[in-house]
Amino acid sequence: MYESEALTRVKGVGKKTEQLFQNMGVYTLGDILSYFPRNYERYPLPTTELEDKTGEYIAIEGIFFTKPLSRHFRGLSVTSAKFTGHGVELEAVWFRMPYLANSIQTHMPYVLYGRLNKKGTGFRIEQPKLFEPTAYVRLTKTPQPIYSLTKGLSNKTVSKVCKEALNLCLPVSDNLPSEIKNDRHLPDRSAAFRSIHFPESEEDLKKAGRRFTYEEFLAFFLGQTLHQRQEAKYKNQFQIEKTDLMNQVKENLPFALTDGQESALRDVLRDFHEEHVSERLIQGDVGSGKTILAFLCMLAMAENGYQAALMAPTEVLASQHLSTILNLIEKYSLPFQAVLLTGSVTAKERKSINAAIASGDAKFIIGTHALIQDAVEYRNLGLVVTDEQHRFGVKQRMSFAEKGQHPFSLVMSATPIPRTLALILYQGMKVSVIRDVPSTRLKIKTAVLEEKDRKSGWRFIYKEVMAGHQAYIICPLVEESENSAGENVTDYAENFRKVSKGTMSIASLHGRMKADEKNRVMEDFAAGKIQVLVSTTVVEVGVNVPNATVMMIENADRFGLSQLHQLRGRVGRGQDQSYCILVNSSSNDRSKERLNVIKDHNSGFDIAERDLEMRGPGDVSGVRQSGDLPFIFADLYTDHEVMNAASEDANRVLDQDPDLILEENAGLRRLAENGLSEIYTNL
């Protein structure tokens, strides 16, 4: 079992390299198996024709007639040489690589690979890669993995460590029965891991991807059905007779509930009177007001003497929910106590919180997955609400039941999906859809900018900040990366600070920061101490800062449409007009068209339908739809053929073995219970 061993197990990996991997969330050999390439580079066959190829990545075979020359230019070492092949000549230029002047051989064939530029009347390639011709031709036959990197770690190193990790860890256990693999033509798990990192061909890579996609869907369907069946066994022991307080609060809210909120609330109250407990999915667009709905349902439980828990995926969200709920309790003078339980409360606090929960004094219990730890004992827990919940596995959901509690369960999802897909994905589940958002909300004005016009976006932010508002700027990367040209939070924030000359307080936020550091930044932003937050997509989920009126998204073309819509939903939460600025870094017409969908539509459901229309099966746009769906590899929009197959198989298996207790289904049982963490080792 090498999977749980440290990376230092690999020859040549010392403490320093290990630390770099840890910065990327890779701790064990097993983790690196699931550290999938971000993308693949495809090397083209060497060309003989350069006209019309300016701006493209090309390869050309030829020779250096003379040794390269190294000079210093403004402190930068510049090495250059003329390269001749097939009757054309171009200039190769390298920066900071003076040693090339000695290592390059003249009169020896090379292949030069890089992005072709025009220079005067001639051609030029900067930082070209050099290959021995036969080695290059071999490269053109296989997609070459590109990994997300951190400063100090090269793609080559990741690839090398990965190869070693595969050699040590394979074969790994496989939860799919061979019957299914044969029927569906899926490679086994070990082969899939190998092919994802070192594909032998495009076909090989596709197959590996299909296997992971299938497995994710299968785990989802099995888990969902199993969970439903389990719940259906439990009698509803709760008596929800009183709804006076709930109605009173509802009538006195500063707004009227939307039709969607009202009907979802009716659905939940009807569930409360059924013979068995159940789970219901509330699918509502960003800003559709799921929090107040959750609160009203919790209140109905509380006024009948039961506890209700609200579980959020992050501490930031959990504490935000607590303060929302405390405000409501105070405003409406409700006779209930609310507590917050997260991983970062001190042992002493935890003790008194646990006591308040165990005694039943605390009726509103808000927290992170700390809520399902062993030490927490509930008293008459009637309802568990999970916000953006699909990040929690089925096993975590079932763990309330294992504690001897059989509460109702509400799952809040903010990812609208097209109706046709929802029918398959949520088959057999109780679903309430909130299609409308409060009409009091102003539509967010959205613009698409080209990168060269970025400054006008910045000026706009400045104007809004001077008017007392706040802004988000989203970048896809955390820090500069060797093989990814996108904007990164670290440099961007620094640059923006310089440009704005101290007129605004600017902070950065990303997933590699420690939890308490992240909390502090988020709290400062919520409190208005920070005016511009430069962040990765960690702000995507649920954060509510009504004073923020601008959302600027860099490299917007790199994000999925529903992800862009989610991000945009972070603004437009207050009284004031809000704006979204999408910065397009692609010259591709399709990118523009996709971004215009966001500009022209405000409803997440409409965007989801358009997204489905625009993306056919097998479409490899490389952007994930993200959101809170429990998939990493699978893409609902392009993989629905695989989704159908997995759905069929899940139903067939469960017909034969309803509780998955047969020996041959042990692997499927694990998949159902643990979901993604059973498939990937680094979750």
Residue with tokens 């819509």: 565
Considering beta carbons, is residue 388 or 649 the nearer one to Mg ion? 388
Q: Is residue 280 helix, strand or coil?
A: strand
The residue within the footprint of ligand ADP, chosen from 140, 228, 247, 544 (CB under 6 A), is 544
**247: partner contacted, choices Mg ion, ligand ADP, none (Cβ within 5-8 A by kind):** none
* Interatomic CA distance for residues 383 and 265, integer angstroms: 14
Token pair, residue 504, equals 């605004």
**503: partner contacted, choices Mg ion, ligand ADP, none (Cβ within 5-8 A by kind):** none
Shortest spacing between CB 256 and ligand ADP, in angstroms? 6
Q: Are 535 and 510 in contact (CB under 8 A)?
A: yes
Considering beta carbons, is residue 143 or 542 the nearer one to Mg ion? 542
When asked if residue 258 is in the footprint of ligand ADP (CB under 6 A), the reply is yes
Residue with tokens 């429990």: 630
The residue within the footprint of ligand ADP, chosen from 289, 367, 393, 418 (CB under 6 A), is 289
| Span interacting with ligand ADP, options 48-56, 284-292, 401-409, 458-466, rule CB under 6 A | 284-292
**471: partner contacted, choices ligand ADP, Mg ion, none (Cβ within 5-8 A by kind):** none
The residue within the footprint of ligand ADP, chosen from 207, 211, 290, 430 (CB under 6 A), is 290
- 188 Cβ contact partners less than 8 Å away, ≥ 6 residues apart: 171, 174, 176, 181, 211
Considering beta carbons, is residue 294 or 401 the nearer one to ligand ADP? 294
| Span interacting with Mg ion, options 129-137, 254-262, 542-550, 621-629, rule CB under 5 A | 542-550
**98: partner contacted, choices ligand ADP, Mg ion, none (Cβ within 5-8 A by kind):** none
The residue within the footprint of ligand ADP, chosen from 143, 187, 199, 284 (CB under 6 A), is 284
Q: Are 47 and 111 in contact (CB under 8 A)?
A: no
| Span interacting with Mg ion, options 106-114, 152-160, 422-430, 540-548, rule CB under 5 A | 540-548
> How many Cβ atoms are within 10 Å of 82's Cβ, its own excluded?
16
The residue within the footprint of ligand ADP, chosen from 250, 573, 594, 615 (CB under 6 A), is 573
Quick one: which of 415, 347, 341, 339 has its CA closest to 372? 341
| Span interacting with ligand ADP, options 280-288, 300-308, 368-376, 655-663, rule CB under 6 A | 280-288
Considering beta carbons, is residue 386 or 602 the nearer one to Mg ion? 386
When asked if residue 313 is in the footprint of ligand ADP (CB under 6 A), the reply is no
Residues in the interface with ligand ADP (CB under 6 A) total 18
DSSP letters for 86-138: TTEEEEEEEES-TTHHHHPPTTS-EEEEEEEEEETTEEEEES-EEE-HHHHHH
Considering beta carbons, is residue 62 or 542 the nearer one to Mg ion? 542
Strand arrangement of the beta sheet that strand 408-413 belongs to: 337-341, 362-367, 307-311, 381-387, 408-413, 279-284, 430-434
Quick one: which of 423, 405, 411 has its CA closest to 231? 405
Shortest spacing between CB 542 and ligand ADP, in angstroms? 6
* Interatomic CA distance for residues 480 and 495, integer angstroms: 13
| Interacting residues with ligand ADP between 387 and 416 (CB under 6 A) | 414
| Span interacting with ligand ADP, options 100-108, 251-259, 269-277, 415-423, rule CB under 6 A | 251-259
Token pair, residue 213, equals 């996609």
| Span interacting with ligand ADP, options 75-83, 283-291, 423-431, 590-598, rule CB under 6 A | 283-291
Considering beta carbons, is residue 215 or 540 the nearer one to ligand ADP? 540
When asked if residue 569 is in the footprint of Mg ion (CB under 5 A), the reply is no
Three-class SS of 368-420 = CHHHHCCCCCCCCEEEEEEECHHHCCHHHHHHHHHCCCCCEEEEEECCCCCHH
| Interacting residues with ligand ADP between 414 and 443 (CB under 6 A) | 414, 438, 440
Q: Is residue 192 helix, strand or coil?
A: helix
| Span interacting with ligand ADP, options 64-72, 252-260, 307-315, 487-495, rule CB under 6 A | 252-260
Shortest spacing between CB 396 and ligand ADP, in angstroms? 21
Residue with tokens 């007779």: 241
* Residue 361: half-sphere exposure toward Cβ, Cα within 13 Å: 7
**292: partner contacted, choices ligand ADP, Mg ion, none (Cβ within 5-8 A by kind):** ligand ADP
Q: Is residue 307 helix, strand or coil?
A: strand
**8: partner contacted, choices Mg ion, ligand ADP, none (Cβ within 5-8 A by kind):** none
Shortest spacing between CB 483 and Mg ion, in angstroms? 35
Q: Are 215 and 643 in contact (CB under 8 A)?
A: no
| Cis amide leading into 133 (omega within 30) | no
Amino acid at 367: G
* Interatomic CA distance for residues 194 and 142, integer angstroms: 13
Q: Are 475 and 486 in contact (CB under 8 A)?
A: yes
DSSP letters for 658-683: TT--SGGGHHHHHHHHHTHHHH-TT-
Token pair, residue 550, equals 């601008």
When asked if residue 287 is in the footprint of ligand ADP (CB under 6 A), the reply is yes
The residue within the footprint of Mg ion, chosen from 313, 542, 560, 630 (CB under 5 A), is 542
| Interacting residues with ligand ADP between 472 and 491 (CB under 6 A) | none
When asked if residue 567 is in the footprint of ligand ADP (CB under 6 A), the reply is no
When asked if residue 560 is in the footprint of ligand ADP (CB under 6 A), the reply is no
- Contact flags string 205-234 toward Mg ion, x per CB under 5 A: ------------------------------
Q: What angle do CA 274, 279, 282 make, to 5 degrees?
A: 110
Considering beta carbons, is residue 257 or 301 the nearer one to ligand ADP? 257
Shortest spacing between CB 51 and Mg ion, in angstroms? 55
Considering beta carbons, is residue 166 or 286 the nearer one to ligand ADP? 286
**143: partner contacted, choices Mg ion, ligand ADP, none (Cβ within 5-8 A by kind):** none
**438: partner contacted, choices ligand ADP, Mg ion, none (Cβ within 5-8 A by kind):** ligand ADP
Amino acid at 506: I
Phi then psi for 365, rounded to 5 degrees?
-120, 115
**478: partner contacted, choices Mg ion, ligand ADP, none (Cβ within 5-8 A by kind):** none
Interior/surface letters 561-585, b for 16+ CB within 10 angstroms, e for the rest? bbbbbbbbbbbbbbebebbbbbbbb
Considering beta carbons, is residue 199 or 289 the nearer one to ligand ADP? 289
Residue number, nearest CB to Mg ion: 542
The residue within the footprint of ligand ADP, chosen from 65, 255, 259, 495 (CB under 6 A), is 255
Considering beta carbons, is residue 320 or 638 the nearer one to ligand ADP? 320
**544: partner contacted, choices Mg ion, ligand ADP, none (Cβ within 5-8 A by kind):** ligand ADP
* Interatomic CA distance for residues 380 and 407, integer angstroms: 8
* Interatomic CA distance for residues 188 and 190, integer angstroms: 6
**Burial (CB count within 10 angstroms: exposed 0-12, middle 13-18, buried 19+), residue 514:** exposed
Amino acid at 388: E
Chain residues that interact with ligand ADP, rule: CB under 6 A: 255, 257-258, 261, 284, 286-292, 414, 438, 440, 542, 544, 573
Chain residues that interact with Mg ion, rule: CB under 5 A: 542
